[in-house]
Amino acid sequence: MLKVLIPTIMMFPTIWLTSPKWLWATATTHSLLIAFVSLAWLGWMSEAGWTSSNTYLATDPLSAPLLVLSCWLLPLMILASQNHITPEPISRQRSYIMLLTSLQTFLVMAFGATEIILFYVMFETTLIPTLIIITRWGNQAERLNAGTYFLFYTLAGSLPLLVALLLLQQSTGTLSMLVLQYSQPMELNSWGHMIWWAGCLVAFLVKMPLYGVHLWLPKAHVEAPVAGSMVLAAVLLKLGGYGMMRMMIMLDPLSKELAYPFIILALWGIIMTGSICLRQTDLKSLIAYSSVSHMGLVAAGILVQTPWGFSGAIVLMVAHGLVSSALFCLANTAYERTHSRTMVLARGLQMVFPLAAVWWFIANLANLALPPLPNLMGELMIITTLFAWSPWTILITGLGTLITASYSLYMFLMSQRGPTPNHIMGLQPFHTREHLLLTMHLVPVILLVTKPELMWGWCN
């Protein structure tokens, strides 16, 4: 654990001491080396239980895929931001890269924490760099509004969680995940216990986000710069799913009855947000709502509480993290050239950028869960689990899959096909940097087809 955390912390002096000429190259190389070192965690996936370097930080097969995803994303965020941050003063460039690095530090400590209170503190701390990135480097004036939504939704959901954790500490005497997994499930039978149960989960449901408390997400995504959108879609939403998986183990007796409304809301959200996607005109907004739809499926898979549901949830989280991040990168490449996110104004780009259209095509197919990609594996496992829980859910999940396919094709056809508008002239060609960026997003998705047990090794 420390062999990734310490090099990440060592990036801070590197960023501030490197000469301006080599800043971006050094930061990218350093973060890429950390990402390659983190792949060693996948080699320990076969070992059931925790692999620990000390009492407070450890990895297990549930956190390892998400830790690797967090580390993999930092070099990609630095690569993606290079074009629009380079014109700024050098101190601002250093601050920006430092915020991204601090975000990775907090995420590694959140996913690697064995104490729930340490996880909670890191879960909250990730708010700060993300908020600064959105409100300082966002594109429009509404970014302050988006930052306020993001902050208050997350904080309002997290306060009950803190109270619930203090009550848990009082009743069990420990908040260590290593010990709590062996403790007796709590006897939960009164109204107070039900409120405690909701308090434990509501912070994570807001973070995922569950339909109904999702309004902060499209705002934050649309206003954030590309790195903000990437880290939000790829890793920060997964903190919610990971937290739910960790807490569900202790909430066992009550969850059977109390999970019903949340599962129904999650399934209804798949239909509703999918339908919203079908009538979006803004490219980033469409991708943001598609994230809500996919995370609704993940939430339902976790709340059903079967090994298949958990496995499907983690597979879909990892696959969706890479694919939606790739889609945000593609949206950003179009935005940097046409200066418009409106799909009607930036259409017919296949004629101008034929190779980029291939990336769009692969990313959209992955988003609509084309077999044999891991997105389909995750969706099928969750849909099967839900069908076993209640056969009626197949109507909603089936319709959700259809709508997902529809809006993915709509997004591809609107942005790539058709005649190129007359006002699109003199566009910059695609850079090798952008092709590398998309290769590093989509090649892992394709490679995971060959060894999917890297994602659900914890279930063996």
Mention every residue, 6+ apart, whose C-beta is less than 8 A from residue 237: 207, 208, 209, 217, 291, 295, 321
Ranges of residues in the chain whose predicted pLDDT is under 70? 45-48, 184-189, 253-255, 457-460
- Residue 75 has a pLDDT of 96
Compute the distance between CA of residue 114 and CA of residue 60 in angstroms, rounded to an integer: 10
Placement of tokens 């903000």 in the chain? 228
Q: Which amino acid is at 363?
A: A
- Which residues contact residue 166 at a Cβ distance below 8 angstroms, ignoring those fewer than 6 apart? none
- Please name the residues in contact with 151: beta carbons below 8 A apart, sequence gap of 6 or more: 127, 131
The predicted pLDDT at position 46 comes to 62
For residue 286, CA distances in Å to 241, 294, 383, 408, 413 come to: 22, 13, 23, 9, 14
Number of separate helices (H) and strands (E) present in the chain: 21, 2
Residue 101 CA to chain centroid, in angstroms?
17
* Residues 6 or more apart in contact with residue 162 via CB below 8 angstroms: 120
Query: Crossing angle of helices 374-389/307-338, nearest 10°?
Result: 140
Residue type, 385: T
Distance CA 219, CA 128 (A): 17
Whether the Cβ atoms of residue 329 and residue 360 lie closer than 8 Å to each other:
no
- C-alpha separations of 325 from 3, 56, 128 in Å: 26, 30, 20
pTM, two decimals, is 0.95
User: Residue 90 to residues 87, 104, 140, 224: CA-CA distances in angstroms?
Assistant: 9, 22, 22, 21
- Distance separating alpha carbons of residues 221 and 143, to the nearest angstrom: 10
**pLDDT value of position 191:** 79
Helix (H, G, I), strand (E, B) or coil at 140: coil
CA atoms within 13 A on the CB side of 354: 1
Cα(448)–Cα(457) distance, integer angstroms: 13
Domain ranges of the chain: 1-42+54-252, 263-459
Which contiguous run of DSSP H or E holds residue 286?
Answer: helix 283-304
